[in-house]
Amino acid sequence: MSRAKLDSIRAAGPAILPSLLQCDFGDLRTEIEKLTVAGTRVLHLDVMDGHFVPNLTYGMPIVEGLRRHTDMPLDVHLMISDPVAYARPMVDAGADMLTFHVEAVEDSVEVAGKIRDMGVGVGVAINPDTDFGKLDCCLDSVDMVLVMSVNAGFGGQKFNPVSLDRLRSLKERKPDLLLEIDGGIKAETIGEARAAGCDLFVVGSAIFGQHDYETAINVLTQAMHGSPPSAGDQS
Ligand code: DX5
Ligand code: ZN
């Protein structure tokens, strides 16, 4: 539980972060082992409250359970209406990075400051339909921007290319800010996101929908570096 883990997240980039949303929750230990063998260096945890988004996933007990089984940094995406209320319990459970949604809060600078004071990395997320200008005031208060390329809430949605313009703009204005993208990332979309300046690529279906995670991650890594998927690859 320290901002030192933020450095390891930064050092991992460019990196693919499996999103624990469509995994086998009945056998999380095996899922983590398979992802570790496949070369994963950071895990992305999707926390949904059934209020900010209509879907409901998991909370502190799962984060705490994962913390006991891996040393990997835990990047926690809070799709919840009251991120401040759950920030401390999430940090105590073992989160290393907490990302709140700009749509969920009144004062993003204040929320970012409170999370930062808890000793973890802080990110702000923005949905594709939200006015991009809403981020301006808090860019100096966060370590990372999570540019959503789908509306937060569900896996398996179609990639929205507005995210690419947003990444390019952020990279130009704030070159040192960590940039993450989430939603519809697969071999066909990851290369463009990398070219737009993204560092961290959250992936759900393109890993968990595949039989072999290692092959899936290798295909994505190649595509991230600009090699198009070949005919025999998974996608
Ligand atoms: C969506 C979640 C994502 C999701 C991505 O609200 O934040 O992390 O798991 O899933 P795919 O890669 O299937 O779009
Ligand atoms: Zn996510």
Kindly report the backbone phi and psi dihedral angles of residue 85, in degrees, each rounded to the nearest multiple of 5, phi listed first: -65, -30
Is 156 a known ligand-binding residue? yes
**Active-site position among 49, 96, 143, 182:** 182
Pocket test for ligand 1, best of 202, 208, 235 (most atoms within 8 A of CB): 202
- Our mutation pick for probing the ligand 1 site, out of 182, 189, 210, 220, counting the most ligand atoms within 8 A of Cβ, is 182
Residue 1: per-residue pLDDT: 45
pTM: 0.96
| Coil vs helix vs strand at 76 | strand
For the chain, the domains span 3-225
Candidates 144, 138, 163; CA nearest to 75 is 144
Confidence (pLDDT) at 4 = 82
pLDDT, position 66: 97
Minimum-distance ligand to the CA of 154?
A: 1
What number of other Cβ atoms are within 10 A of residue 38's Cβ?
Answer: 17
Quote the CA–CA distance of 78 and 225 in Å, as a whole number: 29
Q: Which atom of ligand 1 is nearest to the CA of 204?
A: 12
Specify the DSSP element, H or E, that contains 12.
helix 4-12
Mean pLDDT of the chain: 95
Q: What is the pLDDT of residues 2-38, one digit of tens each?
A: 578 999 999 999 999 999 999 999 999 999 999 999 9
Is 205 annotated to bind a ligand? Reply is: yes
**Which residues, by Cβ under 5 Å, contact ligand 2, an ion?**
46, 77, 182
By residue count, the chain amounts to 235
The tens digit of pLDDT for each residue in 35-81 reads 999 999 999 999 999 999 999 999 999 999 999 999 999 999 999 99
Superfamily grouping for domain 3-225: Aldolase class I (3.20.20.70)
Distance CA 45, CA 76 (A): 5
The answer to whether residue 230 scores a pLDDT higher than 80 is: no
